[in-house]
Amino acid sequence: MKVVRTSAELRDALPAGSIGLVPTMGAFHAGHLSLFGAAREENDVVVVSLYVNPAQFGAREDLDRYPRDEARDLELAAEAGVDVVFAPDRLYAPEHSTWVEVERLSDILEGEFRPRHFRGVATVCLKLFNIVRPQRAYFGQKDAQQAAVIKRMVADLDLDLEIRVLPIVRDADGLALSSRNAYLSPEERERALALPRALATKDEARARELLSDLDVDYVEVAELDGQRVLAAAVRVGETRLIDNVVLEGENA
Ligand code: AMP
């Protein structure tokens, strides 16, 4: 497995063949590994990008304390059969001025609470698609709204790649795997289980009741890329968690 830091190095490291890209921010868990596995099955070359994208964090969010463990991530990626890890030190020129705004879809759910989040996500993904030139890119249903935003951008800007969305990987207790779960104390983790339990009811009113002891940003049914999902974001202590279930559409 090659580890490269610049787009020039990446170009040199890429063998011939179809490319599957998995964009990540690191701190790998089984959710990431499922995307690597799917990319491995469907492409000749698997590229994983590892970059904690400052543009998708708000001023009061957790950019500075986001979990980072590159050595461990590289071991896990190598074991998963990844060919190239693209881990740039920075992706934006100091004078960076161009942003991708996916209107409407970026304003609901997460967008209401993280105003410039999806502009940062869409922009970094477009930059990664241009640098890596993948035939397929892999995203998790865990971030259902993100996947829908990226699909909208790909359709709207006529990008020539396929977006693949893989199911949510959960721990045995039902909590969706997330790099941010590392922030939870054992007591907080216990309280966080209300989130998957509430969503499992597939009923907005019932879910709201079951989440009444937590600090809820939203519990809402929304239409995302032809899927109807029940999605929620809650804060447990200092940690913000999101999760969703599909009510109608693919994977319901
Ligand atoms: P992140 O490193 O958190 O930006 O996540 C990278 C990719 O992994 C995104 O497409 C996420 O949706 C996906 N992902 C994160 N957690 C999970 C999970 N529990 N199950 C499936 N995919 C996930």
- What residue owns the CA closest to ligand 1's atom 10? 139
Pairwise CA distance, residues 166 & 147, whole Å: 10
Pairwise CA distance, residues 8 & 15, whole Å: 14
Chain CA centroid to CA 163, Å: 13
The β-bridge relationship of strands 239-248 and 162-166 is unpaired
Residue 251 pLDDT greater than 90, yes or no: no
Q: Which atom of ligand 1 is nearest to the CA of 167?
A: 21
The β-bridge relationship of strands 136-140 and 19-24 is parallel
Pairwise CA distance, residues 26 & 56, whole Å: 15
- What residue owns the CA closest to ligand 1's atom 6? 24
Give the three-state DSSP class for 47: strand
How far apart are the CA of 178 and the centre of ligand 1, in A? 7
> pLDDT digits over 13-28, tens only?
999 999 999 999 999 9
Q: Which atom of ligand 1 is nearest to the CA of 179?
A: 3
Lining residues, ligand 1, CB within 6 Å: 24-25, 31-32, 34-35, 139-140, 142-143, 166, 168-169, 176-179
What Rg do the C-alpha atoms of the chain give, in angstroms? 18
Report the first-to-last Cα separation within the chain, whole angstroms. 36
The answer to whether 20 and 139 have CB atoms below 8 angstroms apart is no
Q: How many CB atoms are closer than 10 A to CB 177?
A: 19
Pairwise CA distance, residues 241 & 176, whole Å: 9
Which one of 22, 35, 51, 69 would you pick to mutate in the ligand 1 pocket, going by the greatest count of ligand atoms within 8 A of its CB? 35
> pLDDT digits over 124-170, tens only?
999 999 999 999 999 999 999 999 999 999 999 999 999 999 999 99
* 227 CB-side CA count, 13 A: 21
pLDDT at residue 245 in the model: 98
Hey, what are 177's tokens?
């795997």
For the full predicted model, state whether its pTM sits above 0.95: yes
> pLDDT digits over 170-223, tens only?
999 999 999 999 999 999 999 999 999 999 999 999 999 999 999 999 999 999
Strand order in the sheet with 227-236: 215-224, 227-236, 239-248
- What residue owns the CA closest to ligand 1's atom 5? 24
Which one of 29, 32, 50, 86 would you pick to mutate in the ligand 1 pocket, going by the greatest count of ligand atoms within 8 A of its CB? 32
Residue 250 pLDDT greater than 90, yes or no: no
The β-bridge relationship of strands 227-236 and 215-224 is antiparallel
32 is catalytic: yes
